Amino acid sequence: MLPIAVLASGSGTNLQALIDSAASDVDFGAEIVVVITDRPESQALQRAANAGIATEVVTFDEHGNRDAFTKALCDAAEDHGAQVLVLAGFMRILAPDAVERFPNRILNIHPSLLPSFPGVDAVEQALNHGAKVTGVTVHFVDEQVDHGPIIAQEPVPILGEDTAESLHERIQQQEHRLYPEVVKALARHRLEVTGRSVEWR
């Protein structure tokens, strides 16, 4: 079993999809050993507790700068035996030190087809740009924001009547399917990274 830490700041629906897959798929290959949040009000904490998973709260304010905050997060994950960090709606940028400690061992999910619309408000950006298609990207985290090697992408059409809310809802349906698939592939050693290229074996 690959021990993973899931990091979440918000509603935690992607965390829930991972919890559900780990529970229902005997071949999943990964175990969520801890859920870490930077926001004590995150619903991720309740979702973890309901599933009997350990939780840690590491706030930015108690550490005051990105390096110390990142170190505390990585330490917490390692204390629980995690070998991989899975960012699931984690709203803080990690210092480069995290990538050094977990090389090609940090995953992120982003609600656009990167490299289009990186950063915050990706769904609004795509809508305001008049794009016809956006989607979901799962990638390895490197030193730059929303930039590391792309593991999987899923397109989502933008409809004429879409609001940011309706579009995000359809994007999330794809996220909840794609993220567990990628975590399973990583756990089962199916992902081979060469530079920016990720091959599925």
> Which CB sits closer to ligand GRF, 102 or 117?
117
CA torsion sign, 114 to 11 to 35 to 41? positive
The interface with ligand GRF within residues 139-178 (CB under 6 A) comprises 172, 175
The Cα–Cα gap between 155 and 137 comes to: 9
Write the binding mask 79 to 108 for ligand GRF: x where contact by CB under 6 A, - elsewhere: ---------xx-------------------
Q: CB of 12: closest distance to ligand GRF in angstroms?
A: 5
3-state secondary structure of 171: helix
d(CA 80, CA 60): 20
Site for ligand GRF in 106-125 (CB under 6 A): 109-111
Count of residues binding ligand GRF (CB under 6 A)? 13
Least separation in angstroms between CB 112 and ligand GRF: 9
What CA–CA distance (Å, rounded) separates 67 from 70?
5
Count of CB atoms within 10 A of residue 88's CB?
24
Which residues bind to ligand GRF, rule: CB under 6 A? 8, 10-14, 88-89, 109-111, 172, 175
